[in-house]
Amino acid sequence: MIVVSDTSAITALLQIGQAGLLEQLYHQILIPEAVRDELLKNHPCLPLCLHCERAANVVEVKRLLAEIDLGEAEAIVLAKETHADFLLIDELAGRRVAQREGLRFVGLMGVLVQAKQKQFIKSVRETTAELERVADFHLSEEIKSIAYRKAGEL
């Protein structure tokens, strides 16, 4: 399985000490150079499951920069180049571009639901509360309710 990630989900999981979930679920996650650079600004030691690859199509990256930031643009291009099974991305603008570009994507809440289903975490609700408290990661009540329902916590 090929998974490419943007910065936000990895940052949030690092902040609550749960980045290991990504390795447990996907074994290896590809990140583009811009995401690696963003992560290293606040996290001097990155999980070994993260593998940096260069997004080769610079023209495509530049085209996407009109709509989204560099990390998101490189992640989308890298996901297309590697034929990723899905892209891990949370930002709404980035998700819209990913959808338009024909990519499958999942957000952090989707990761938490998968982690709960595989019994890697006890509760999506508790992990979400910790993300909000520690990582300042906030989602709408509607998105949280959907995730809680999928995790069997509603």
pLDDT band at 139 (very low <50, low <70, confident <90, very high): confident
Show me where the domains of the chain are located: 3-107, 109-150
Considering only 34-43, 57-66, 134-143, which range has the smallest mean pLDDT?
Answer: 134-143
138 closest CA partner among 110, 108, 115, 105: 108
Encode pLDDT of 78-120 as tens digits: 999 999 999 999 999 999 999 999 999 999 999 999 999 999 9
Q: Which fold has domain 3-107?
A: Rossmann fold (3.40.50)
Instruction: Tell me the pLDDT of the chain averaged across its residues.
Output: 95
Virtual torsion, Cα 47, 48, 51, 52, nearest 10 deg: 60
* 49 has a pLDDT exceeding 90: yes
Q: What is the pLDDT of residue 4?
A: 98
Report the C-alpha gap between 109 and 38 in whole angstroms: 21
What integer is the mean pLDDT of 69-84? 98
Asked if 101 and 76 count as a contact pair (C-beta separation under 8 A), the reply is yes
Burial label, 150 (beta-carbon count in 10 A; 0-12, 13-18, 19+): middle
* 30 has a pLDDT exceeding 90: yes
Q: What is this structure's pTM?
A: 0.93
Q: What is the pLDDT of residue 154?
A: 83
pLDDT band at 145 (very low <50, low <70, confident <90, very high): very high
| Angle, helix 124-134 to helix 7-15, in steps of 10 degrees | 90
Q: Which two tokens stand for residue 6?
A: 């943007």
